Amino acid sequence: MILFDSARLGSEEWRAQLFCERNGLSGFFMARESFLLRTDPKILDALRQWADDELRSSNAQLDFVLRDALSKAGRLPKEKKPPKKKSQN
């Protein structure tokens, strides 16, 4: 069971976590951290257009681009896999 801390999670993040929990996708939800990004307005407009073209939010598109760049550079952190359950035979 996931514990919800609405004081730490934004309303959208809380709803996403709740949706995942209710639909058996609790391992799918990842905690997010907010940060301020200052960039050229033309770059931001291009990112927003790209996101619209791929039916993503601007935030999801930026996350996609960053993950792709980190992966290609070999700098994407490895995801921790849950330990395998031992079969009882």
Look at residue 11 and tell me whether its pLDDT is greater than 70.
no
The CA distance from 16 to 6, in Å, is: 12
Residue 58 contacts residue 47 (beta carbons within 8 Å): yes
Cα separation of 33 and 8, whole Å? 10
- Residue 4's contacts (CB-CB under 8 Å, 6 or more residues apart) are 14, 17, 18
More confident residue, 7 or 64: 64
Place of tokens 């959208």: 12
Total Cβ atoms within 10 A of residue 61: 19
Q: What is the mean pLDDT of residues 46-56?
A: 94
